[in-house]
Each structure stands twice: as C-alpha cells, then as structure tokens.
C-alpha cells in the first residue's frame, strides 16, 4: 500500500508498504530500514529545532528534526526493527531558493540530524544532501529500495 508522507509528518510500515514524499527542498527526508524485519519509516521534517515553537512541537513533533528523528526510530522499533540492523539514509537539506538563502534551514536541518545520530552511535549509510533541486522519494519497504527523483531524473540512494 502506498502512503504519502506530507511535510511535517512521518509514516512507518512493513514489507507491503511504499512510503512516498514530495518537495524535499530545505526539508530533511530521513529513511530508516531494518532489512531483517523488513520494517521502516520516512520522516519529512521542515525545521531543525522545536524550541522555536514549543506548542507546535507538541502538536506536530514531526515538523522538527530534533523531535521527529527520535520518534521515527521509536516507531520503527515498535514494529520490530533493531538499532544494530538499521540502514539509515537522508535526502534533502538543500537551498531551493539559491545559495544565498539567508536562514540556511537545509544546512541547519542536516547539522541537527548529524548531532542526533552521532550522540546515538548511528551513522548514515547514504545521503543525497544539499543543492538547489527539490526531490521526491519512493521508499519500498519490501526491499529497502529508495528511489530519488528530481527534474525527471531518477537514481537509487
């Protein structure tokens, strides 16, 4: 079954599922997958730190990297995923408005992600980070395959 992950949201699933997200510009797309249990999840986080709006973080924790990433991992663990088997990949964190973007949201999203992963002894297995192009992700949980597309070009992550 196909599930769309909207901006500021997260979905997890099992081998029958495909998770899709669109419009990854400065947002972080984080995909985690346990190849043994064949479970995984996809987070589409907009902003790096929840402290800018604590109310919104309670209401929509997946909107923020610092609150969304831990919840993504916990949700996949609840489906039977194990940390030591997890394949972790990231996409997005770009500068869709050009290299002159004042707030550097994409860069900050990536820095917060790396800090969270480092503190938890998790490494990225692959990434497609930066640039000015928006990306779409198709994450097939039967195989763990992640297809990235942008401007009618597709590649595997």
Sheet harboring 9-13: ordered strands across? Answer: 9-13, 39-45, 28-34, 87-92, 126-129
Is pLDDT above 90 for 149?
Answer: yes
CA dihedral 101, 58, 86, 33 (to 10 degrees): -80
What pTM value is reported for the model?
A: 0.95
| Predicted pLDDT at 103 | 78
Query: What integer pLDDT is reported at residue 98 of this predicted model?
Result: 65
Return the ∠ at Cα 33 (arms to 52 and 146), rounded to 5°.
90
Instruction: Give me the pLDDT at residue 108, please.
Output: 95
| Average confidence score pLDDT of the chain | 95
Ramachandran angles phi, psi of 56, nearest 5° = -65, -35
Q: Among 34, 128, 47, 51, which Cα is nearest to 87's? A: 34
**Residue 32: strand pairing partners:** 41, 88
How many Å apart are CA 1 and CA 87, to the nearest integer? 21
> Which domains does the chain carry?
2-156 (3.30.1330.200)
Please compute the mean of the pLDDT values over residues 77-97 and round it to a whole number: 95
Rg, Å, the chain Cα set? 14
Q: What is the pLDDT of residue 101?
A: 62
pLDDT (tens digit, 9 = 90+) per residue, 3-26? 999 999 999 999 999 999 999 999
């Amino acid at each position: 079954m196909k599930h769309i992950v909207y901006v500021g949201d997260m979905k997890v699933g099992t081998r029958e599922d495909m998770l899709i997200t669109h419009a990854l510009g400065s947002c972080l797309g984080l995909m985690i997958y346990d190849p043994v249990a064949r479970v995984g999840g996809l987070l589409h986080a907009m902003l790096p730190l929840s402290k800018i709006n604590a109310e919104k973080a309670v209401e929509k924790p997946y909107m923020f990297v610092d609150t969304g990433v831990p919840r993504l991992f916990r949700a996949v663990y609840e489906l039977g995923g194990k940390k030591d088997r997890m394949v972790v990949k990231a996409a997005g964190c770009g500068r869709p408005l050009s290299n002159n973007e004042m707030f550097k949201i994409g860069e900050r999203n990536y820095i917060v992600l790396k800090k969270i992963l480092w503190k938890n002894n998790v490494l990225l297995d692959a990434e497609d980070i930066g640039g000015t192009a928006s990306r779409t992700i198709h994450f097939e949980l039967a195989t763990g395959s992640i297809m990235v597309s942008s401007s009618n070009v597709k590649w595997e992550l």
